Amino acid sequence: MVNLKINGIGVQVEDGATVLEAARKAGIEIPTLCYMKEINEIGACRICMVEVQEMRGDTLGPARMVTACVYPASEGMVVKTNTDKVRKARKTTLEMILSTHNRRCLSCVRSGNCELQTLCYEYGIDNDAQFDGVVPENIYDDSAIHMIRDNSKCILCRRCVAVCKEQEVGVIGANDRGFDTHIGCTYDKTLAEVDCISCGQCIVNCPTGALRERDDTQKVYDAIADETKTVIVQTAPAVRAGLGEEFGLPIGTDVEGKMVASLKRLGFDKVFDTDTAADFTIMEEANELIGRVTNGGVLPMITSCSPGWIKYCEYHYPEFIPNLSTCKSPQNMFGGIIKSWYAEKNGLNPDDIVVVSVMPCTAKKFEIQREELRKDVDISITTRELARMIKRAGIQFNSLQDEEFDSPLGEATGAAVIFGATGGVMEAALRTAYETITNSTLEDVDFTAVRGTEPVKVSEIKVGDLTVKVGVASGAKAAKELLERVKAGEEFTFIEIMGCPGGCVNGGGQPIQPTSVRQTVDIKAERAKALYSNDAAKKIRKSHENPFVKAVYEEYFGEPNSHKAHEVLHTSYVDRSKDVIM
């Protein structure tokens, strides 16, 4: 252990800890812009400068300035984080950043939630910064379906580069050198031309408005205003676990009732739950798994709910396409059911129905544009976009009384709601597969072995006389690790993969938390708790026991994996490996 003083406060940390970590332990927050623990520890932005004195023999050496995020704490060190010299250094650095920064903050989507803006306010900096000079020519890339990159707001912190690399995608990096340095793709290709998987992790880790989701809210307004259209909205399970953060509520607050009340006030004709479609997904997926196991099908079967994962597989592991479940994601199953069974049941023309989805995921914007899925869902917006719509409408979110989803596509089980957490799809499928295979009642439905935010989880589950080896991975890096184990000969029966670390609760469309919070709070775990609590409170926790789902199968689909079910609820995939730029 190492003992040091920070602003006169004694603190003890493990040997190897940085000054930044020691300060946090002492209850002092040192500002950062580029720092991401274990992912982007590069000391590039220089905002975290502090004064330190280190022991030289029996006496303290002279004070000098160091970067707290990478500088190791040492025995007897004296650290000062708030001297005139430190404050002046940070202010000068901020003014230098602003000298080439697009300062149109009022219209920026991150205004009020921008780490640069917050620091400028704290250090008393306005638009009349002391440095002025040549502004580099910046790239504005709106080629991708899911996001926009505006380099005029980029501060070259490289957090997006680091997290893209951490995702085993690595399609962006620092191009050119010196004054011409900018973040871009290989050979300055556009995002649409490279193998970006649309996960949006770069967006939620960007400290400014340089990266943002493509805003599709105007399409929603136009649809609601069109009196010839029936506009139906669905919300993914993870949205209710994150949306409250946009209105100042604690991380992991379940705001399902207030979310539904808000959507009804926005003018949608029907407010339904994607969870209902998730129950259909389990019916199809569990029975598909049973069919593969009993009929010698391709194993391991791998889940297909995450469009970011699907895109990663198509680009980098096309040999596993036969392993993918042919089930559509719940988003698109919902759209398929609305434009087939629901339209027929209510005498509606599918062409006059607009299906809007609220998703925690930017990759869902890409998914609805896939040729195989193009007609299911018309507009997909993120949790953040929904929050902006609620605020614009003047809806007092925190004052609303809880309301319930409309019937019948608002009736869902606990198995469906946990889809939003890593391991949730696996657990939901096992609940149904167990009872289908054994023809007996599963008393304890909690498969805790597949829960938790660890990137990779492997377990053997006893299902009657059958031992099923399952794997769960969240994040493309974890997906790669698990797939390489399969390629090396390790045998699995069933694998769940989510494109974002922690699953949908940590999707690229979720509320953005500053890095100071992301480094100290396990956001993935806190949001997941809301879903598991929701599941535990449900009267029905197994998808195959959903009375609405059973009724639709009886009157429309016949049985899971029937010809009719395949027409509406299943899809196919594309080998994109030839499009990867090496």
Which residue among the candidates 198, 325, 340, 474 is catalytic per the annotation?
325
**What is the 3-class SS of 497-527, one letter each residue?**
EECCCCCHHHCCCCCCCCHHHHCCCCHHHHH
526 catalytically annotated: no
501 vs 485: CA distance, rounded Å: 19
Tokens 């609303």, residue located: 400
Which residue among the candidates 364, 365, 457, 542 is catalytic per the annotation?
364
Tokens (6 digits) for 281: 């997904």
534 vs 254: CA distance, rounded Å: 8
What is the sign of the dihedral through the CA atoms of 405, 408, 413 and 419?
negative
Segment 316-322 long-range contacts (CB within 8 Å, at least 24 positions apart): 316/168, 316/195, 316/480, 316/577, 316/580, 317/483, 318/575, 318/576, 318/577, 320/483, 320/486, 321/573, 321/575, 322/298
What amino acid is encoded at 43 in this protein? Answer: G
Which residue among the candidates 48, 305, 313, 361 is catalytic per the annotation?
305
Which residue among the candidates 41, 372, 481, 545 is catalytic per the annotation?
372
364 catalytically annotated: yes
At residue 304, the 3 state secondary structure works out as coil
Which residue among the candidates 54, 245, 284, 288 is catalytic per the annotation?
288
Q: Is 464 left (phi over 0), alpha (psi -120 to 50) or beta?
A: left
Closest CA to 184 of 208, 217, 150: 150
Cα Rg, the chain, nearest whole Å: 25
305 catalytically annotated: yes
54 catalytically annotated: no
Which residue among the candidates 367, 385, 411, 526 is catalytic per the annotation?
367
At residue 581, the 3 state secondary structure works out as coil
354 vs 534: CA distance, rounded Å: 29
288 vs 286: CA distance, rounded Å: 5
285 catalytically annotated: yes
CA trace torsion 561, 562, 565, 567 (10° rounding): 110
Closest CA to 101 of 144, 160, 152: 152
Which residue among the candidates 153, 504, 524, 542 is catalytic per the annotation?
504
At residue 52, the 3 state secondary structure works out as strand
200 vs 191: CA distance, rounded Å: 12
Which residue among the candidates 284, 285, 427, 496 is catalytic per the annotation?
285
| 301 strand-pairing partners | 494
**What is the set of active-site residues?**
285, 288, 305, 325, 364, 367, 372, 504
